[in-house]
Structure 1
């Protein structure tokens, strides 16, 4: 993609306003916290302290809107505390340009490294730097630095207290994540009716898994319906694929296929009903047609062999999902079956859910998370790390913007570095899109707010009220698009500084030009010192190949040494595969808008290679769906398949990284040897052939890409 086209695409993306579900009650709660803090500070301490406390409450409320599974009060307190430390150090060094510049370089560099801990930490750290640039310009002295830091932290405390005292939809984010996973399974079941080999995006399941991790305090208060259902959804997916896939034994047409379609449709309705119940905390209401389809007694007469086993296991799993999704108080370990989903003994009991045994995925506390974060940051301290490059870029640009803003004859030059630090992200597309959105939003917001200030000359209390209204607008629209939010953020800063008596002489032109300067510096820095994703695509593809090959090898090995469907090593391999696949998809999405050549992996090759590995993973999932029970007779030939899969994919991943054509001799020899004496298993021989075909398709994709160069 050329630079001109890349700039057009990122500009369009930055100015896009999405239609998203608004949350006015939560936005009003954040604005209420801001109003309480500002009003109390203004009445007791004056405009300067009120402006400091307002930034603390404003930033703490933003932290509670971030996509994080930690308790919202914890996020508000962490944001308030970190901002208090930042501004306290800024006040201490603000009177000395050299010292403040050194602090700015260090603090911005650390905020860039904070992205290694995740986007929530990165956004909070970046906002701390931006607000520090504004607050240290307010009239104060070193003696009152601690007081300003205290009121900033108090703003975070107030927002945290309001979250506790005025709860809005407790566990709402976790409910939505689990409901989205079940709804994705329902959609998958419906798509399988028409496309037996339809793909499935694992992101909803991964999101639900992240949401299921809880701190010890959360584990004691988590609703019962949030236990166990995610694990059941994980086990339903391979069963759905196995039931629909013609490779398992159901013809593409005929009475067996009609029965499979009926079961898939019923499964989709049951899963949708469970998702609705979990999302809203209501009892599960099952549609009668779905119940009738699952109760039909002729399943055993129509379906045979693997398809019959898959149908019976699906009915058992759906019964467990419905039971788990019911809001209830757990008073005993007894299991009831009020829904009638199960129709007959299955002989394949699902493994106990987390609700039955009280298990949960632990999430460390913020203090316990510190060693993990330090390890992640240390892992990014390498020359080719996008996070390290981002930290270097953002610190250099912020310092340059601070010096240029002070040198230019506009006054209040912090608008330039503030714009830079807020728009810069570790990847190209977000940085450029946010720079355009920031300029457009600032142009509108500053123009409107400055016009109000210079025409109406509002007093301190009216300016504070206007700032609270702008904050409410930002909280309400922040998820619809960065440009829309920036209109209110820019106006908020103007009104807040006007309340404190700062920046009243600065014109719209001055503020907009300084914002434009900050955006241009941010965009130039990525062009001068980039961290392109495109050259790393082969490495991401190799990681996915190695992980999905290891998953297929572990699954195959379980046929030679049966350990039951709940084998932990299979589960661990599957999670690694999903992580590698999502990393590949995110890398492709970032590389799509980069103005660099593909360097040996064209867009057509990317699509074909992705399809090949996705199909490879789907075949491995089919094998997982029919893992033998613990103690079942072993299939000795499966050990040879597992070994050849491991060797072939490991070597193939190395060849992909080294830009060589991958070969699959080990696996091909195993498949060829089986042609004379196949293993005594209905799926293993067929699965090996399908796996080899997927790898050969991957080779074709990479070979044709090299020929096009």
Structure 2
């Protein structure tokens, strides 16, 4: 992709308005907290103190909108307290001379860049603290005043945390939605399997449900009964649905048995939808009687035999468990010892430090981001001081808030920030000119602007920046600062900061494109290990450990998620591919995903512990593990992988113990051959604008950072 096309795509993305679920009640609560802090500070301490406390309350509220399953009061306190410390230390250093503050800014920016290794929420809070600290250190005029301003900033965070505790909005609402979405996705999948027995499945809802189910010990004791256990059942239902529908291991493609499969899938969809509705709203389960009748039909045993009959019975049992779990007040309790426990903030510290330390190596994208953001912030601060504009901190502040470890997000946010700033200051300036607001009216307008930002922040970064810019204009207006003393400076320096951020990525990039082959090789190896572990369950049913299968599946999910994320980032980078084309990436991705699906079908029919060992499965597991490890090495070295060992084992099979094993094993080899064909025959074209198709899918989940959910933070608009 050329630079011109990349810039056009990022500019278009930055101006996109998304349609997403808004949370007006939470936004109102955040705005009320901000209003309380600003009003009390204005009445008792004056506009300067009110501005400091407003920044603390604003940042604390903003932190609670990030993608994190941690208790929101904890995030508010963490954001407010860390900003207070940053402000006080920044004033102590910055009040003496510029070089000392520049050194502190460099240290702060470098650390803020590195902590992205601990997760997007931590990185967002750290970046926001650095950006707002650049403003708040200019408000006090003495050390005692600086301590007072820091205390007010911390108080703003405390107020927001108290409001969350005293006025909760839909307790466990995010966790309820995540679990309900997972069950609804299973329901939709069951209905699609009626018409397409090998339909693809989007694993994203299951990923979010798993992450939402990871709680602290205190949360585990308080979690509602209907949120305990249903997520695990949903994951076990998915392979059963696939094995029941797939003609290779389930019922024939046509005939009475296939008609019953369609009826069972439709009934499963109805049951899962009813459970999802009950969990989302906390209502009793309302199950359609026809669906229950189909699941309990006595003639199912006459139509099915072998694997299809086992799958049908297993599906009915799992759906019974889902209904029991989804019923509010069912009496089920969450045992902290059985929950997936998330570390507390204190326990998270050494884990986060280890994650940061792992990025202190040459070639690390996070380390490159830390170096970039440090150089850009310091350069912007020096240039801002050299220009005759005043408010020099706006240039580095804009840079810190738009810069991300990857190219696409950095450029998208730079465009969106400048466009939103231009519109926001224009609207706010017009209001100021027409209304001539005083101190209290300016404070009210600032609170209203912040409230609108909290409400609309998930509709797009550019939209949020409109209200953030208006918020700053009105907030500074409380102290009598005229609009013409701030608006031109803010627009010019925001543009400067965005240009510096974009130039830094062009000069010192961390492209994902050259690493695509490594990501693909990791996925090949992880997928092969997962399939091999499943086969080992057939080789030694009595001594097999089911936990090994789960661990291998999670490792394969991590590798799949890393590949998808890398491919998405590479699609928008203005560099040519180095070793793998878009066609090869798409073809290989589909083939490895199909291999994961075939392994999942084998997992759905794991033998009983009393069943006799299958020596053919042991030989195939060893061959598959060895071949995929060698194949991964070949992919990294730009060679075409070969699977002769797997092919030789299958050729030597005479009469395997399980027909399911024979069919799935041949499908595994076919998928591996498709990987080789994709890497051998695909045209050498540069990557386009999409990611590998998620056909048939080994369910993937992004690599879970310590204590944080995967993916980008929800929003990060800062003044």
Query: TM class by shorter-chain length?
Result: over 0.9
1:548 aligns with 2:527: yes
Inter-partner Cα distance in structure 2 for 1:134 and 1:502: 14
Q: 1:249 to 1:47 in 2, by over 3 A?
A: closer
1:413 aligns with 2:392: yes
**Partner residue of 1:167?**
168
Cα drift, residue 203 of structure 1: 2.4
**Partner residue of 1:140?**
141
Inter-partner Cα distance in structure 2 for 1:608 and 1:690: 16
**Partner residue of 1:685?**
662
Three-state SS of the structure 1 residue aligned to 2:124 is helix
Q: 1:453 to 1:139 in 2, by over 3 A?
A: farther
**Partner residue of 1:79?**
79
Whether contact under 8 Å (1:203, 1:582) holds in the other structure is no
Q: What CA deviation, in whole Å up to 9, does each residue of 1:379-410 have, x standing for no partner?
A: 11112111111111111111111111111111
Cα drift, residue 201 of structure 1: 2.5
Cα drift, residue 508 of structure 1: 3.2
Moved more, 378-387 or 694-703: 378-387
Structure 1 counterpart of 2:572, from 570, 593, 600: 593
Cα drift, residue 23 of structure 1: 1.4
Whether contact under 8 Å (2:296, 2:316) holds in the other structure is no
Inter-partner Cα distance in structure 1 for 2:683 and 2:646: 24
**Bigger relative CO (Cα 8 Å, ≥ 6 apart):** 2
Inter-partner Cα distance in structure 1 for 2:267 and 2:415: 48
Structure 1 counterpart of 2:408, from 409, 429, 433: 429
Inter-partner Cα distance in structure 2 for 1:3 and 1:667: 44
**Partner residue of 2:651?**
672
Equivalences for residues 356-395 of structure 1 within 5 A? 359-395=338-374
What is the alpha-carbon root mean square deviation over aligned residues?
1.6
Whether contact under 8 Å (1:565, 1:629) holds in the other structure is no
Runs of 4+ in 1 over 4 A off after TM superposition: 354-358, 502-505, 563-566, 706-709
Three-state SS of the structure 2 residue aligned to 1:246 is coil
- With normalisation by structure 2, the TM-score equals 0.93
Inter-partner Cα distance in structure 2 for 1:704 and 1:508: 57
**How many residue pairs were aligned?**
685
**Partner residue of 1:11?**
11
Inter-partner Cα distance in structure 1 for 2:545 and 2:269: 24
Cα drift, residue 140 of structure 1: 2.3
Cα drift, residue 257 of structure 1: 1.0
Whether contact under 8 Å (1:138, 1:502) holds in the other structure is no
Equivalences for residues 221-236 of structure 1 within 5 A? 221-236=222-237
Inter-partner Cα distance in structure 1 for 2:335 and 2:303: 34
- With normalisation by structure 1, the TM-score equals 0.94
Moved more, 695-704 or 295-304: 295-304
Whether contact under 8 Å (1:130, 1:421) holds in the other structure is yes
Inter-partner Cα distance in structure 1 for 2:202 and 2:423: 39
Three-state SS of the structure 2 residue aligned to 1:506 is helix
Cα drift, residue 451 of structure 1: 3.0
Whether contact under 8 Å (2:217, 2:336) holds in the other structure is no
**Partner residue of 2:284?**
283
Inter-partner Cα distance in structure 2 for 1:590 and 1:708: 17
Inter-partner Cα distance in structure 2 for 1:540 and 1:646: 18
Cα drift, residue 572 of structure 1: 0.6
Inter-partner Cα distance in structure 2 for 1:695 and 1:563: 29
> What are the ranges of 5 or more consecutive residues in structure 2 without an aligned counterpart?
687-719
**Partner residue of 1:559?**
538
**Partner residue of 1:51?**
51
Inter-partner Cα distance in structure 1 for 2:607 and 2:334: 25
Inter-partner Cα distance in structure 1 for 2:677 and 2:529: 21
Inter-partner Cα distance in structure 2 for 1:138 and 1:282: 51
**Partner residue of 2:23?**
23
Equivalences for residues 188-227 of structure 1 within 5 A? 188-227=189-228
Equivalences for residues 155-554 of structure 1 within 5 A? 155-328=156-329, 330=331, 359-502=338-481, 504-554=483-533
Three-state SS of the structure 2 residue aligned to 1:479 is helix
1:33 aligns with 2:33: yes
Structure 2 counterpart of 1:657, from 621, 626, 636: 636
Three-state SS of the structure 2 residue aligned to 1:477 is helix
Cα drift, residue 289 of structure 1: 2.5
Q: 1:705 to 1:600 in 2, by over 3 A?
A: farther
Cα drift, residue 637 of structure 1: 1.4
Cα drift, residue 378 of structure 1: 0.7
Whether contact under 8 Å (2:221, 2:336) holds in the other structure is no
Cα drift, residue 452 of structure 1: 2.8
Whether contact under 8 Å (1:244, 1:250) holds in the other structure is yes
Q: What CA deviation, in whole Å up to 9, does each residue of 1:81-109 have, x standing for no partner?
A: 11111111111122210111011111011
Q: What CA deviation, in whole Å up to 9, does each residue of 1:337-372 have, x standing for no partner?
A: xxxxxxxxxxxxxxxxx8589611111110000010
Inter-partner Cα distance in structure 1 for 2:543 and 2:61: 47
